[in-house]
Amino acid sequence: MNKIDNAIKTVHHMDNHANHNGYLNKIHPLVKLLITIIYIILLTSIDKYNLVTTLAMSIYLILISIIGDLSIKNALKSLKVVLLLLFILGIANPILDRTIITYIGIVPVTTGMISMFTLLLKGIFAILASYFLILTTSIEEICYALKMIHMPNILITVVMLIYRYIIVFLKEVQRIWVAYQMRAPNQRGVHYKAWGSLIGSLMLRSIDRAQVVYESMELRGFDPDTFFIKKEKAGKKSWIYFWLMLILLIILRFVPIFEIIGGVFI
Amino acid sequence: MHMADAMISPAVGATMYVASGLVAAYSIRKIRKEEDFKKKIPTMGVMGAFVFATQMVNFTIPGTGSSGHLCGGLLLSSILGPFAGFLSMIGVLLIQCLFFADGGLLALGANVWNMAFYGCFIGSLIWKLTMKKGMTKRRIILASLVGCVLTLQLGAFSVTLETLASGITELPFGTFVATMQPIHLVIGLIEGVITAAVLCFVYEARPEMLWNGIQKTEKQAKFSYKKTIAILVCLLVIIGGGMSLLASSNPDGLEWSIEQITGDTEVEERNDTAHETAESIQSATSFLPDYTFKDSESTIGTSVSGIVGCVITVVFLMVVGYIIKIKRNKGNTVNEQN
């Protein structure tokens, strides 16, 4: 099943990338998380007709991809589904919002077209920002950052456990699927007669496994209230990065820098 | 049903974060009071991963050629209870958003509300009410179907409200609801049947695993497929019909959108008024009104120069990035040779 293979590859790829020794990987996770959240808030707060500022926000992503040596091309591949969803949602805008603002040749440009384009760009940029965060920050580091902003330990432990067991279950589901396909060739999905038994048996095994996991965790001294690996606080380098990025984001969002640059050439 | 960040405004996103955060805090408080809460944590993690992985399996829907998947919220709450199920769903949604671009960081609060809150709390309420007189296979099927349909309908309705409150789409409320609800009605029914199949299997094999299942299990109760199917068909007609009425109960929006598309003269007038109103609201609320495409030629000129400037800067940065990359690669090659 391609979907499962792709999911396994995605998790492995991101895990490997997050453990690289790049410049962005060394920045404190809390700083990266805060900058990403600020970026998304500033991006989504842009007016729906403000295409220029939306385009300007791409500068942050380009800079991040250069600093962190990250591939935008690879990131864009994972956007197909989201883009389709946003397109479906945005397609109503050119139909219902038809005020003509200018012409490109004989083709009229309407406010609806602009708002649809802005919506698609916002969608792409917001996902790329989160994608770059996870490419340079491991899940443990993100959980650590969440812990620093006082997210309860129970929730963090659950997130970490889910993440750790995702690969195990994806591989198990993949094995079940292969075994099923070999017994039922040329079948698109699971036959309705096997719906309950196929997943139900895996579910029962999962619950049993959870008990074993709990016992082994308890033997190692697990306590959800005290459990967490302590890490260093954000260093000077991380805070310099934070302030520089914050200033950049504010400039991109609130200063008409591109009108100024464009004005020089026109 | 995952909402992307672009579908939500910061104000709506923050509101939904607060709402979901309060429910999460309450759930944590309730979980802590449970005797075996430490024991429950690994189960929450493992079950979250299970739901995540099994949502990748496609179940063939007989006679259609399409497929569906499990309803995570209801399944989790029927095993773990509403509070633990809700917390597990938060974990699943966070990982889906970070690793698989399903949803977004800003929209996480809204997604938790739309999927986890309804799925776990409304779902478990239906589960509890249905199992009041004891657990039977028929009741499991009934609870799964009603639970999945209702929670998905509520979730889809919330998506509509959140998107409209964010001012993202030009779709009128009536049209949006009429599009969202029937689609999710079908999805809900499919997910309900799949979830029921899995839960029935668990009930057959290990009934004590189901939430509240150990107290009043009536495994020996007579089970008639014919009766169950008849009840389900009636239920589908009632829910389907009811939802269709609900979806089309706002004819103004629908008529408005059809007239917009057909270009009737009466609509032209409404269109102008609507735009005038929208423009006045936009002028009043816009952060940087000079940036927007409105009525002035100079604004368009400024925006065009802005786009040109942006393109130039982006190209410049990409060239710089490319040069840095080439230099980096060269440096690495030299280092390897040394």
Residues 138-167 of A with CB under 8 A from B: 139, 142, 152, 154-155, 157-166
Between CA B155 and CA B187 the distance in angstroms is: 12
pLDDT of residue B36: 76
Residue A115 and residue A50 share a domain = yes
Q: Is residue B229 part of a domain?
A: yes
pLDDT in tens, A28-43: 999 999 999 999 999 9
**Mean pLDDT for the stretch of residues A10-26:** 84
Q: Which residues contact B99 (CB under 8 A, 6 or more apart)?
A: A10, A11, A14, A134
Share of chain A above pLDDT 70, in %: 96
Q: Last residue of some domain: B221, B249, B277?
A: B249
Rg (CA), chain B: 26
Residue B43 and residue B191 share a domain = yes
Between CA A154 and CA A227 the distance in angstroms is: 9
State which residues form the domain around A125: 20-137+232-261
Distance from CA of A182 to the nearest CA of B (A): 16
Predicted complex ipTM exceeds 0.90: no
Residue B301 and residue B170 share a domain = no
Residues of A in contact with B102 (CB under 8 A): 81-82
- Total domain count for chain A? 2
Residue B75 and residue B212 share a domain = yes
Q: Last residue of some domain: B192, B227, B249?
A: B249
Q: Is residue A168 part of a domain?
A: yes
pLDDT in tens, A104-158: 888 888 888 998 999 899 989 998 999 899 889 988 888 888 888 888 888 888 8
| Chain A residue with the nearest C-alpha to that of B292 | A50
Lowest mean pLDDT among A132-146, A228-242, B57-71, B182-196: B57-71
Residue A219 and residue A208 share a domain = yes
State which residues form the domain around B303: 296-338
Residue A236 and residue A181 share a domain = no
Residue B207 and residue B129 share a domain = yes
Residue A121 and residue A144 share a domain = no
pLDDT in tens, B28-48: 998 888 877 777 888 888 888
Q: Do B109 and B191 contact (CB within 8 A), yes or no?
A: no
Q: What does DSSP say about strands A100-104 and A107-110: parallel, antiparallel, or unpaired?
A: antiparallel
Helices (H), B263-296: 265-285
Residue among B36, B41, B78 with most chain A CBs within 10 A, to mutate: B41
CB-closest option in A14, A40, A261 to B309: A261
pLDDT band at B275 (very low <50, low <70, confident <90, very high): very low
Instruction: Assign residue B134 the CATH number of its domain.
Output: 1.10.1760.20
**Mean pLDDT for the stretch of residues A44-68:** 91
> What are the φ/ψ torsions at residue A58 (nearest 5 degrees)?
-70, -20
Q: Is residue A266 part of a domain?
A: no
On the question of pLDDT at A173 being above 60, the answer is yes
Q: Is residue B170 part of a domain?
A: yes
Q: How many CB pairs under 8 A join A and B?
A: 371
> With an 8 Å Cβ cutoff, are B106 and A40 in contact?
yes
> With an 8 Å Cβ cutoff, are B170 and A115 in contact?
yes
CB-closest option in A120, A169, A191 to B49: A169
Q: Last residue of some domain: B218, B249, B280?
A: B249
Residue B123 and residue B42 share a domain = yes
Between CA A147 and CA A142 the distance in angstroms is: 8
**Mean pLDDT for the stretch of residues A82-102:** 81
On the question of pLDDT at B336 being above 60, the answer is yes
Residue A121 and residue A33 share a domain = yes
Ranges of beta strands (E only) in chain A are: 100-104, 107-110
Residue A220 and residue A123 share a domain = no
Between CA B332 and CA B338 the distance in angstroms is: 10
Residue B329 and residue B194 share a domain = no
Which amino acid is residue B261, in one-letter code? I
Instruction: Tell whether A191 lies on the interface with B, counting CB pairs under 8 A.
Output: yes
pLDDT in tens, B112-126: 999 999 999 999 999
CB-closest option in B7, B257, B288 to A89: B7
Name which of A195, A191, A1 is nearest B62 in CA terms. Answer: A191
pLDDT of residue B204: 87
Instruction: Tell whether A38 lies on the interface with B, counting CB pairs under 8 A.
Output: no
pLDDT band at B337 (very low <50, low <70, confident <90, very high): low
Q: Do A66 and A60 contact (CB within 8 A), yes or no?
A: no
Q: Is residue A179 part of a domain?
A: yes
Residue among A195, A201, A211 with most chain B CBs within 10 A, to mutate: A195
- Total domain count for chain B? 2
The C-alpha angle with vertex B68 and arms to A173 and A74, in degrees rounded to 5, equals 65
Q: Is residue B282 part of a domain?
A: no
Q: Is residue B332 part of a domain?
A: yes
Distance from CA of A104 to the nearest CA of B (A): 11
Residues of B in contact with A214 (CB under 8 A): 38-39, 41-43
* Count of residues in chain B: 338
Residue B336 and residue B204 share a domain = no
pLDDT of residue B256: 36
Q: What element of type H or E holds A235?
A: none
Residue B79 and residue B23 share a domain = yes
Q: Is residue A166 part of a domain?
A: yes
Q: DSSP string covering B316-332, please?
A: HHHHHHHHHHHHHHHHH
Name which of A246, A214, A236 is nearest A227 in CA terms. Answer: A214
Residue A167 and residue A105 share a domain = no
